[in-house]
Structure 1
């Protein structure tokens, strides 16, 4: 394409592809974090409880979300080009440093702190780029970008399942690191090539790069944030503890790894289907429908049968992945309805920072419940958070102007 001033304008879908590659190493790794946790429980950190190791994962998840409140405004003011290099370095370095970790505090600093900071920069950059490049087809763009996370969620557990027995921890991490390096280099190039098409917010000067609480003036934004915090609590808890959950009820570790790949594989289709549907029936309509679907699946399969039926657990993993994966791609699109395009990074980062508390406590709290009360009570807790999330999203849709339970209006 050519712009009016004679300069060549590159297809913005190139930026979506670059965002998808970045999200393999951030959201994709986060979806696979249960593989790392279960391996550490049986090896380097075998003397620690599930909840103890969960605090490492919790810190990683917390920082990867809470620092979005800084990364988002920086993207609004400076654009995506200056942040691609830090995102590349931080999100790739994690795997090579983690290969050398042996003690609890090593993993806390490397995976928890370094991984969290790198994840915040790279994931906020990627999602903001996809959201800023499109308006009318924002749902489809974010859905395809986040499909990259699903690819990582499928490939990373399978890769580690194959490399752990053969090469051990250190070289498994290095092999993964080299793969991520190549993907992130390509992703960086794609984002840089379309960076001039991303609108900037320089209205307030350098203050535009500072965090702001103005988003909370929107009731729709507040209800959306609460709903996302609740479904994030369920998603981080279920996705992170699924291997541990499976092993605790008698399944093999290999079966547990396959469960994560099944979950991530189905989320790939959920994110694309929901993203495309959102552009036709409305982002909030699609979000309420898919989140309610996730709650129903949890109630029908995970709570009554997840601790005693392998078939039910596999069915739940596939259906939960489809539903919860849809929510991850729909929420950023819904955030775009609460703000101007140039402020998208600020609003997205603010929401991610608030929901970070869910990421911090999900696995430690879920692990503690699993140890104390068993799998069924833990599943019931995650069901309650999923139901609460659906209610909050319904109120967000209502505040935006839709009739409470009338979904014929595209919102």
Structure 2
């Protein structure tokens, strides 16, 4: 199936539309009859961006901070118990797997039911996971609670909160989406050092209980403001055009996301352990993770602004290229605080660029009306990538005589990001072969 321009008489058909088939503020003067967002007060769209910012911060911030808790448990609670440490590595994998696994269902439910209600269900699950985990003592129990239950909640929240801002904006869609997904970087910037402080002050159990409280309170407030201007609730699974799977751009985009899912969590999960093995303290390692999340925050905003001026696909290639170099070139030399900061900043900036642009790329390739469901189905297909990350790295580090061989780990993560970069280049050329065009 090719994605071509459609006539006005076919715009409402239940097919995946190219964003080029739809007029924008740049080509026509929009009226409230055409753009439902204009029927709402201006503050409504900004409140939605703010709500999505908080939801992104809670879902991705906790996930990005998992490495801090993992390092503490491996070094102080399960020290010397190889089997339990290995099981512990699956917690982060399950969190990340859930973030993507439930994306397809979340996308459909958001479009045909309610963004607000779906996100609230996700917030409840995200709070319930760590709350139950606070009463658990075995790693397999943490896999079921912090891993599976929190992952379910994050999966219900992540997709809708990523795509909702794009439904409110046309001319500044990149900037609006960039600001919203910046919440993930801001969340990690705050939650990583907070986690380390709470673990040292009140212990792992109370850290989990406190996190459940702020997830529930802040998440509920954010859900109240999360909505979209229009929902076609007549859509069902039968309305989805499954021929999309035969489209090369769809397949290439799904491949890109799979590579990102496989590579993204590896540095956040294992950099703290890497730095501690090189003589840095656990507190310093948590600060460096926080620095990476802070850089991700700036990357999401700046790249969203850049995408509005130089093109979404062009900006995506830049972000993925930077991230690939950070893992392949910088990580092996990040053995002191100075190089650790450089690695954290560049990796955080590059990954932030990807998260800001991912929903915009889907909107550009497949249209904005079904952004939640299309992004969701791609994400669910890509969920398999989460099992190629932490579990494989853990097996690498378990090899006799290779406990601190992080060169293999950094190369492994970098190859995934390089694969994503290649997929982005292919999609860019499929969309337009003009090298210097804004796409």
Asked if these proteins are the same fold (TM beyond 0.5), I'd say yes
Question: Are the aligned partners of 1:225 and 1:354 in contact in 2 as well (CA < 8 Å)?
Answer: yes
Q: Structure 1: give runs of 5+ residues left out of the alignment.
A: none
Q: Is the 8 A contact 1:76 1:344 kept in 2?
A: no
- Is 1:290 the counterpart of 2:322? The answer is no
1:13 aligns with 2:13: no
Could you tell me how far 1:260 is from its partner in structure 2? 0.6
Deviation at 1:278, TM superposition (A): 0.7
Q: Does 1:409 align with 2:437?
A: yes
- Structure 1 SS opposite 2:171: coil
Contact 1:241–1:367 (Cα < 8 Å) also in 2: no
Which of 246, 266, 289 is 1:237 aligned to?
266
Q: Does 1:202 align with 2:234?
A: yes
In the alignment, which of 419, 423, 427 is matched to residue 396 of structure 1?
Answer: 427
* Residues 88-147 of structure 1 deviation map (CA, whole Å, 9 limit, x = unaligned): 311222232222121123212101211111111011221121233333332212211111
Aligned-residue CA RMSD in angstroms?
2.2
Structure 1 partner of 2:149: 114
Q: Is the 8 A contact 1:44 1:102 kept in 2?
A: no
Structure 1 match to 2:411:
380
- Assess, with a 3 A threshold, how the Cα gap between structure 1 residues 136 and 223 changes in structure 2: closer, same or farther: farther
Structure 2 Cα separation of the partners of residues 45 and 69 of structure 1:
36
Residue number in structure 2 paired with 1:359: 386
Indicate the residue corresponding to 2:28 in structure 1: none
Is 2:57 the partner of 1:24? Answer: yes
Pair 231,7 (structure 1): closer, same or farther in 2 beyond 3 Å: closer
Please give the per-residue CA displacement for 1:281-305, whole angstroms capped at 9, x wherever unaligned. Answer: 11110000111122223333113x1
- Alignment partner, residue 314 of structure 1: 341
Please give the alpha-carbon distance, in whole angstroms, between the structure 2 residues aligned to 1:45 and 1:361: 24
- In 1, are the aligned partners of 2:116 and 2:225 still within 8 Å (CA)? no
1:309 and 1:169 map into 2 onto residues whose CA distance is 27
**What TM-score results when the alignment is normalised by the length of structure 2?**
0.85
Q: Partners in 1 of 2:367 and 2:286 — Cα distance?
A: 41
Q: Specify which of 164, 184, 202 is matched with residue 149 of structure 1.
A: 184
| SS of 1:341 mapped into structure 2 | coil
Distance 1:371 1:245, change over 3 A: farther
Q: Quote how far apart the aligned CAs of 1:379 are.
A: 1.1
Name the counterpart of 1:174. Answer: 209
Conserved 8 A contact 1:51-1:365:
no
Q: 2:103 aligns with which of 47, 57, 68?
A: 68
CA distance in structure 1 between the aligned counterparts of 2:51 and 2:133, rounded to whole angstroms = 25
**Which residue number in structure 1 is paired with residue 26 of structure 2?**
none
Structure 2 vs 1, CA of residues 81 and 45 (structure 1 numbering), >3 Å: closer, same or farther?
same
Which 10-residue stretch deviates more, 211-220 or 27-36? 211-220
Residue 42 of structure 1 corresponds to: 75
- Asked if structure 2 preserves the Cα contact closer than 8 Å seen for 1:283 and 1:333, the reply is yes
Task: Check 1:151–1:207 CA distance in 2 against 1; reply closer, same or farther (3 A cut).
Answer: same
Q: Which residue of 2 aligns with 1:81?
A: 116
Tell me which residue corresponds to 1:343.
370
Does residue 1:368 correspond to 2:430, yes or no? no
Q: Is the 8 Å Cα contact of residues 193 and 287 (structure 2) preserved in structure 1? A: yes
Larger radius of gyration: 2
**Number of aligned pairs?**
399
The CA distance in 1 between the partners of 2:272 and 2:137, in whole Å, is: 22
Partner SS state of residue 100, structure 1? coil
Higher mean C-alpha displacement, 71-80 vs 215-224: 215-224
Once residues 366 and 113 of structure 2 are traced to their aligned partners in structure 1, the CA distance between those partners, rounded to angstroms, is 18
